[in-house]
Structure 1
Amino acid sequence: MSPPALTVTDLTVDYGPVRALREVSLTVPEAGFAAVLGSNGAGKSTLLRAVSGVLPYHGGTVRSGAVTAGGTALHGRRADQIVRQGVVQVPEGREVFARMSVADNLRAGALGARDRKSVAAARERVLRLFPVLAEREKQRAGLLSGGEQQMLAIGRALMAEPRLLLLDEPSLGLAPIMIGRIAETIRAINGEGIAVLLIEQNATLALQLASYAYVLEVGAIALEGPAAELAASAEIRDRYLGVSQEATEEEIAAAGPSRTLARWSG
């Protein structure tokens, strides 16, 4: 049996005197799909930074705990070394290279590739998933719409041929129709065997996509369980995740009848 794509064990992270994460543990199975939900300031982005190795650039420090990907320890490795281990992050806000062309943005994602054949195969895969990028390869990335930039950011990450894709708020600032397209593509990427860890404030979207979900509150895991069970719980929707405020009536109806989780009764 293959090791999980990602295992986080008792991870504690500080920003100077501020404790951002407290003994956080989670698992993403090989080719699995997990989501982390929570409000602003809950520690979601900090978690991804700790996994992807960019935490020091944001002034954070891992105080204790362990992070492994495919059985390989990631703590202490540089961000580029973690990418070579197959763990690639798509940052919040997309952060494409605005003055570079779409084609050059994609090439930047493949800088660590070993041979041209693998780069060509990765590029073909990206353009199959995002045909609009093929149409606009020579266009400057900064001239793309927000949704197209998100496609480019995901495509750039896929050029590194990841085994685990870390997505930080991919729906942020996008129109509903574009959110739907991005969601379909994320589902397709996972269907090709790439594990996904999704960070999302849009709980409805996250619970529709993921198989398992974790809820972060003030830097700690407050709740976890199969995504379908969380989505079907009236307490989770109304009292905790605020899904009922974010979801349309059609989305709530699609989730099926509400159920009560035992731990929330009484």
Structure 2
Amino acid sequence: MDVHDPRPPGDSGLVVRDLAVSYGPVLALRGVSLDVPRGSVVAVLGGNGAGKSTLLRAVSGTLRFHRGGITSGDIAFGGKRLSGAATSAVVAGGVVQVPEGRRVFARMTVEENLRAGALGAPDRRAAAEARREVLTLFPVLAERAGQRAGLLSGGEQQMLAIGRALMASPRMLLLDEPTLGLAPMMAARIADTVREINARGTTVLLVEQNAAMALTLASHAYVLEVGEVVLSGPAAELAASDEVRRRYLGIEDAPGDLAATGRAAASSRPVLARWSS
């Protein structure tokens, strides 16, 4: 199925309707619907086993590599149907995933990893422009160009994983647990990077267990539990919800505006718009 749309992107972003996904006899998602408007950041929250990664796999066309499949429902991006499309067709349609755990090619150099990402670029000119943008965003990758990816620190590997995805010039980026295993300062830098990527025009669907951080980045959020959407709404409203604060943020005190608190905390630290080390 060819999902590549040669026209300029329209107003429609990602649309998921009544999605059900199974791994053999195990139903992992049931009746999931969500919208990610073009140019937005939307967060998906939930505990382990909630179905967050499965949702991203369904969108990116990688379910088959995990012995899963869509059993019902529909997925579309920019007005083009993605349900059942091959991963290469999804990438050609402008949607690229950064998988959980970074998954860089450890034995390949940083430069070779970036070249691998460029295989999904529309053409050589787009690949060259994407490379310039990636190295502007992550200068350390230029310094480490000849180094094997497996020898990078965890934070540097996360930079490389995001940079590799950006080499395909995506219109939409799927981020799966980008702060997993990172120190708080590095997680804060990841948040700053997501903001900048979005400010450059890339739509972001963010799956993240760090709910406090995710809700300061997103305009809208969905909460998954056991494969179903149990809560959704503007991120600021979810951040102020007693239930969300208690169950996902570990906060038992009186309700407050967590989003405002998160923004205040973010403004009190240096803005890290570029990765220099």
- Whether the TM-score (by the shorter chain) exceeds 0.5 is yes
CA contact (8 A) 1:5 1:163 kept: no
- Paired position in structure 2 for 1:92: 100
Listed as ranges, the gaps of 5+ residues in structure 2 are 1-8, 253-257, 264-277
| 1:75-90 superposed matches below 5 A | 75-90=83-98
Correspondence for 2:56 among 43, 48, 56 = 48
Partner amino acid for 1:144? L
Size of the aligned set, in residue pairs, is 250
* Structure 1 residue 210 corresponds to structure 2 residue 192: no
Aligned structure 1 segments of 4 or more residues deviating by more than 3 angstroms: none
* Structure 1 residue 9 corresponds to structure 2 residue 17: yes
* Structure 1 residue 241 corresponds to structure 2 residue 248: yes
Cα-to-partner distance string for 1:52-91 (whole Å, 9 max, x where unaligned): 0000110111110000010100112100110000000000
Partner amino acid for 1:254? T
Distance 2:51 2:10 in 1: 29
- The Cα shift of 1:3 comes to 3.6
- Paired position in structure 2 for 1:223: 231
CA contact (8 A) 1:203 1:243 kept: no
| 1:58-207 superposed matches below 5 A | 58-207=66-215
- The Cα shift of 1:232 comes to 1.7
- The Cα shift of 1:234 comes to 2.8
CA contact (8 A) 2:120 2:167 kept: no
Correspondence for 1:30 among 23, 33, 38 = 38
Moved more, 60-69 or 229-238: 229-238
Distance 1:96 1:34 in 2: 25
SS in 1 for 2:84: coil
SS in 1 for 2:19: strand
- The Cα shift of 1:236 comes to 1.6
Cα-to-partner distance string for 1:148-191 (whole Å, 9 max, x where unaligned): 00000000000000001000000000011111111101110001
- The Cα shift of 1:255 comes to 4.4
Aligned CA distance change for structure 1 residues 132 and 53 (closer, same or farther; 3 Å): same
Distance 1:27 1:94 in 2: 25
- TM-score, with structure 2 as normaliser: 0.87
CA contact (8 A) 2:45 2:52 kept: yes
Partner amino acid for 1:218? V
Distance 1:35 1:98 in 2: 29
Aligned CA distance change for structure 1 residues 252 and 197 (closer, same or farther; 3 Å): closer
Distance 1:101 1:255 in 2: 37
Distance 1:228 1:198 in 2: 16
Q: Percent identity?
A: 64
Distance 2:74 2:33 in 1: 9
CA contact (8 A) 2:236 2:259 kept: no
Cα-to-partner distance string for 1:187-206 (whole Å, 9 max, x where unaligned): 10001110000001110011
- TM-score, with structure 1 as normaliser: 0.90
